Amino acid sequence: MHIRAVSPPDMAQEASRRPVLKWALPSSMPHPEQVTFKLYELGQVDDPRKVEAREPGILLVTGLGSVSPTELNLFDRPPDCNATGDLRDRKMTQLKPQTWYRWIVRVIDGSKSTRADFYFRTEIEEAVVPPQHPAPPPALPPMPPQESPPVAPEPLP
Residue 143 located in a structural domain: no
- As a whole number of angstroms, the distance between CA 17 and CA 75 comes to 10
Residue 136 located in a structural domain: no
- As a whole number of angstroms, the distance between CA 128 and CA 71 comes to 20
CATH number at residue 15: 2.60.40
pLDDT digits (tens, 9 = 90+) for 35-80: 999 999 999 999 999 988 777 789 999 999 989 999 999 999 998 8
Enclosing domain of residue 16: 4-122
Residue 128 located in a structural domain: no
Residue 157 located in a structural domain: no
Residue 59 located in a structural domain: yes
pTM comes to 0.78
How many domains are there within the chain? 1
